[in-house]
Each structure stands twice: as structure tokens, then as C-alpha cells.
Amino acid sequence: MTAKPEGRATRELIIVFLDLSFYTQDARRMGDDGRLAGIVDGYYERVAQRCSAAGGTVVKFIGDGALIVFPIDPADAAVQALFQLKSEVDDWLATLRWESRLVVKAHCGSVVAGPFGGHDEKRFDIIGDEVNVTARLPTRSFALSAEAFRRLSPDARKRFKKHTPPITYIPVEDRRPSNVAKS
């Protein structure tokens, strides 16, 4: 790791963006901000629990989105946790009669990690172009970049198929990918 000012370091990580498709529509239908806040908090709890159990760190939540990082090794554990999280959140939202489903985008790359923010309010964050690469992965469901896919074991790779362009890997059971996640 390269040392940076104020405790920051360049690290290679698995970078994950989560988002709920159709969240805005579901939230509008609620008509009760207190109930909506409870649902969002329940979503946050599921994300934090599943990711931390696999060695991940929630960098931040914002609305229906989350930025998460995992250590590079073992990549299989991170991807397995993301599959489990997607299934759990999708099933839970279906019981609430929401149309929203969890969108997962995962990439692997170098970022500057460490404390960022106002003088007395610094919090752990990650900065770098690889974060933007992750955010731009095209999917409405689950996608891995080629860089993240290459970190998986041969057995874990069997759960994905190649999709182009650009190259991403999607679960084998997905019939066809979509290019843009709707919020």
C-alpha cells in the first residue's frame, strides 16, 4: 500500500454499488415517510449484516443506494454474499409488494481509501476512477466487471456468463441483461 496524507492508502479492493430498481415509484406509493424510513432502515440492516459477515465494509448509504468494499481475497466469499443479499432483499421486497429489486454492480480496482470529509467530521471513504467504473456497469440485476470476474475461482466463475459490450459477467440464470438501472 502507498501511504497517503492523513492515513489514506492506495488499496486494491472489490468495489460494489447497490441500488434498488423502481425505488422512487415504490416510495411515492407509500405515502407515509415514517413507514418508508422503516423499510429503508430494514434494507440497510440487511446490507450491513450480510456484507460484514463476508468481510465487507459499508462505505456509505445514500437513499436506496450503498457503496461497499470487500478485500480482494477471497473474492468468492464477497460474490456469494452479494448473491445471498440480492435473493434476501428481493424476496423481502416482494413480501412488501414492492416492484423494486436489488441491483448489484461489482468491480475490482485500486482506490485511495481512508478518512475524508470536513476537518472534524472525516469518515472512511474511497476515491478514484475505479469507483466510477463500478457505478457505470450496465445492469438492472447483477453484474461483475471482467476484473472482478478474473478474481473468482473456477467454480465461482461457473455462475456467470459473458456479456458484451462492454464485457460484464451476469448470473447464468439471467435470461438477458439490461443496460440501465432505474431508480
3-state SS string for 75-123: HHHHHHHHHHHHHHHHHHHHHCCCCCCEEEEEEEEEEEEEEECCCCCCE
SS3 assignment, position 63: coil
Residue 183 pLDDT greater than 60, yes or no: no
Is pLDDT at 175 greater than 50 in this prediction?
yes
Give the integer Cα–Cα distance in Å for 70 and 16: 8
Domain ranges of the chain: 2-171
Residue with cell 489514506: 8
Report the C-alpha gap between 137 and 132 in whole angstroms: 9
Encode pLDDT of 34-66 as tens digits: 999 999 999 999 999 999 999 999 999 999 999
Phi, psi of 11 (to 5 degrees): -135, 145
Angle among Cα 156, 171, 181 to the nearest 5 degrees reads 130
Q: Which residues contact residue 145 at a Cβ distance below 8 angstroms, ignoring those fewer than 6 apart?
A: 106, 107, 108, 133, 134, 137, 167, 168, 169
**Which residue is associated with the grid cell 443479499?**
85
Return the pLDDT at 71.
Answer: 96
Q: What does the pLDDT look like over 111-147, one tens digit per residue?
A: 999 999 998 899 999 999 999 999 999 898 999 999 9
Per residue in 53-101, pLDDT (tens digit) is 999 999 999 999 999 999 998 899 999 999 999 999 999 999 999 999 9
Percent of the chain with pLDDT over 70: 91
DSSP-derived letter for residue 14 is: E
What's the topology of domain 2-171? Alpha-Beta Plaits (3.30.70)
Measured from the Cβ of residue 112, the count of other Cβ atoms closer than 10 Å reads 17
